Structure 1
Amino acid sequence: FVLPSDFDTAGLDGSQPAAFIATPMLKVVEPMLPGPPVVTRLLQALGRFPAKGCYLYGGKWMAEPVFPKGMMTNGLLGLSSNQQFMGLPADATARPGDYAFLRPTQSEAVLQQFGSIAVFSGGRIVDRWPALPMA
């Protein structure tokens, strides 16, 4: 089992997720919405728009952000399959080139979008497994 999040059920409580999407952060920014800066500042003060964010390589995956802690999608900038914007906590120490990790919500629909699965164990990649082809 790779345990995508759609299968988080009481019967699988003892299991741990085994597949994640790793993607590089292209940019880390103090985001601004189009228009007057006061609108961005107001939405940030209300907690509706992040004071810090990043752009990921690729995006619009069927996956939930898990790292860096507190990373989340933002409805004001929407989703993109090219460079996905993600909000970050104001104290995040992320830098361009760091990796973000997302947990797939499904396995068969998500893993087919990628090449082989890198098997990570003991702090390093030890093998590569091909994803099963769609039948």
Structure 2
Amino acid sequence: MRVEETHAMIHRQTLPVILGDATLLTQLYQNLLGNALKFVGDKQPEIELTAEQTGDMWTLGIRDNGIGIESEYAEHIFKPFKRLHGMAEHDGTGIGLSICQKAVERHGGRIWVDSRPGEGCYFQFTLPVMVAEQEPRHQEEEACHLPLTV
């Protein structure tokens, strides 16, 4: 709904199939896309979903043209209940990015952000490459086609 409301332009590269917990991976993308749509300022949101394979890991990302953040807060934003904006400015609980971090770590990856104020954010994270013969490690894991929903 927010994509339609904001007239967001979403571009994506060909995204991989990932072996993992579909619920966590859905939450990861929903939180990152939700933030890209929320923290855009007065501009029309432009979002790019990226994917690059390096060895046995995918580096996936979500780049936006939003308000960006100061580099000094790059690690701070992944802590639970740490907000850079007051509730009057932007709604939210302050746990979205900490959920993203836990989801990525649960899959053996890491997450980080590159950003400059006024120039948007580029959240990137790594996830293991799916091996076709590999069985899911846990009952809730399954092959997930990314993005799960946009």
Same fold (TM > 0.5): no
**What TM-score, normalized by structure 2, do the two folds share?**
0.26
**What TM-score, normalized by structure 1, do the two folds share?**
0.28
- Say which structure, 1 or 2, has more relative contact order (CA 8 Å, 6+ apart): 2
